[in-house]
Structures are given as C-alpha cells and as structure tokens.
Structure 1
Amino acid sequence: MHPRRKKRLTVVTSILVGFAVVLGFVLYALSNTVDLFFTPSEIVQGKKETGEKPVIGQRIRVGGLVVPGTVSRDPKSLKVSFQLVDTGPIITVKYDGILPDLFREGQGIVANGILVGDTVLEANEVLAKHDENYMPKEIADAVGQYHDKPSYSKEQLENKN
C-alpha cells in the first residue's frame, strides 16, 4: 500500500473511532438524565403497547389527577403526600417542598421523581397543569368521579373575557 494512502486510511479510521467514542459518551450521559413519562395505570399494569413497567429506583415522570381528600401535609415541615389517578389504579406521591399555586385536589399534575415502591413515587418536582377545561372525552368519562371541573359564575366568566 502506498504510504500516502496508508496515512489517509489511518486519519479516517482515527476520526471514525473518535466519533464513535464521543457518541458513546453522549448516549451514556443522556441515558442518566432521561425521565420517562408514565400514568398511574402504566406504573401498575405496564404500557399497553410494550408492557414496559418502571423498576424501583428508576427516575420517571408521572401525570394524573390528584384524588380529592388524599392530600395530607405534615404540620412541622413541607412534606406532602397525595394520591394520583388516571383511569385505573391509584399511586401515592410523596413530596418535600413548596407546591405550585395551581395545585389542588381534582387538579391535573405532573410529578418528577424516583419510584421507591410498586405504587409510591418520591417526587423532587411537582408541576400543576395550567388548564383543565379540555380533556379527551374517554379520559374525562373514566376519571369523572375524581375530577373536579372548574365552575365559574356568570360574573367570573364576564371578567375573564
């Protein structure tokens, strides 16, 4: 092989190996920061398409409605515990911090945290959804017993517009 070709081949091979190493590091770093989204039903029963269930210790994001009457606060600290539901099983969320202003029973929320039990999430962040006026009919029917639809007086509706 000609020395010039051998040098080109070495350079190209080095570049490809370097690119593969960098890509490997990027994928490894991203795998540690990815939060997969689950609903309470999917945590207990698994995803419909794949049957995938989160494992204990996995960082996940859970979305659902706060079950009325389940919010319990520790009077000596900022610890809060409440239950979430979508269309089936209920899970418990434990959070230590200040809840968002829009948080209330019957409200849709998203919680980020670590699954510490089969149905227990230890959240490090709780986000309240801004607007619950729209919900797909199937979900609204399924969670109807847990969902408090906002009711506005005629005066409040006029002030909104």
Structure 2
Amino acid sequence: MTRKSRRLVVIAACGAVLALALGLILSAMSGSIVFFRSPSEVAAQAVQPGVRFRIGGLVKDGSLQRGADQRVAFAVTDTAATVEVAYQGLLPDLFREGQGVVAEGTLDPTGVFRADTVLAKHDERYMPREVADALKAQGRWQEGEGKSPPAQAAAPRESAAGMPATLGPRSER
C-alpha cells in the first residue's frame, strides 16, 4: 500500500466516524424537539394523537376543575379556539384562570390534551413569547395591554446563611 492510499484510507475512516457521530447526535436530539402550537393551530391542523407538543394560551375563565389525586382539568384558549387539558400533579403557585399558561404533552384520540408539564407566568407582566405572538397575530392582544406599572424594587433580604431569601429554603421565605 502506498503512502498516498494509506492517507486516503485514514481520511475516509475519520470521515465515516464523524458521519456516524453526527448521525447519532441528530438522532438523539430529534426525540427532544417539541413544537409550540396555539389552540387555533391545534383545531385547524388536526394534530395526530400521540404527537408531543406544547400548547399555550390563556386559562379559560370558569374551566378549572380539581379532582381527586391532584387531577386537574382546564381549558386553554387563544380567544379563537379552545382545547381541553387534563393534568395530574401539582400546579405552579401562579396558575389561575385568565392567566397565561404553557402545557407540554400529547393529544389523546378524544381530543383532550394530556399534559405532563404545566408552566405558568411568573409575574403580572409576563406572557410566553409564543402565546403573545399568537394572540398578536389574531389581533387579540397588543403590547402594553394588561401591564401594570413596575413596582419599586425592595432591597433583597438575606437569609441566615447570607443568601438572598429567594434562593434559600422555602421555610425562610
């Protein structure tokens, strides 16, 4: 084997290993990609049952129902369409009717969204970007709507460990 052919074999082997590594990385990442959809998109596109995605919108007023074993049912709306959501688990402290929410899960064959993760807005000025974009596209929400003036920031208090209280254990809050 000549020097030139050995070099070609080594380069080809390295290329094959890199291609295999890239294929494995892309394959692993494809399972973690989750698309966002608004309730209108879910209704219009007839999403296949079992496909994992995120749905975002506002929790419809009067739709929250609590059951046994931390089972919760509510509806997510973008004011044009509504999707029923079923969730089992603890809801975020800021979760309530009329507020922004993003839920992640799958649609079952009956059309109910089975959520395994529910995220709520974190303060009075926050709305998930995807939800705000979907509501703006429909002309249902405008920048500055529903915002209150920013409160004056208080000096962060510290816990006994010298950490800001917001980072300390719940009992110190």
Shorter-chain TM-score tier: 0.7 to 0.9
Secondary structure at the residue paired with 1:41?
helix
**Residues in 2 aligned to 1:27 and 1:54: alpha-carbon distance in whole angstroms:** 24
Q: CA deviation at 1:114?
A: 1.5
How many angstroms does 1:109 deviate by? 0.4
Alpha-carbon RMSD: 2.7
What is the match of residue 60 of structure 1?
53
Q: Distance in 2 between matches of 1:41 and 1:140?
A: 10
Q: Number of residues paired by the alignment?
A: 143
Q: Which residue of 2 aligns with 1:3?
A: 2
Q: Deviations over 1:98-151 (max 9, x none)?
A: 0000000000000011121363211111000124547678469637xxxxx58x
* Aligned match for 2:140, one of 139, 142, 148: 142
The answer on 1:29 being equivalent to 2:56 is no
Greater RCO structure (CA 8 Å; 6+ sep): 1
The percentage of aligned residue pairs carrying the same residue is: 38
| Rounded Cα–Cα distance in structure 2 between residues aligned with 1:140 and 1:37 | 16
TM norm structure 1: 0.77
Determine the C-alpha separation between the residues in 1 that align with 2:138 and 2:123. 14
Q: Given the alignment of the two structures, is residue 98 of structure 1 paired with residue 90 of structure 2, yes or no? A: yes
Counterpart pick for 1:111 among 103, 106, 115: 103
Mark the runs of 5 or more structure 1 residues left unpaired by the alignment: 47-52, 144-148
Structure 2, unpaired ranges of 5+: 127-131, 153-173
> What is the rounded CA distance, in whole Å, between the counterparts of 1:56 and 1:84 in structure 2?
18
Q: 1:106 to 1:6 in 2, by over 3 A?
A: same
Instruction: Please give the TM-score of this superposition, normalised by the length of structure 2.
Output: 0.72
Q: Are the structure 2 counterparts of residues 17 and 118 from structure 1 closer, same or farther at C-alpha, using a change threshold of 3 Å?
A: farther
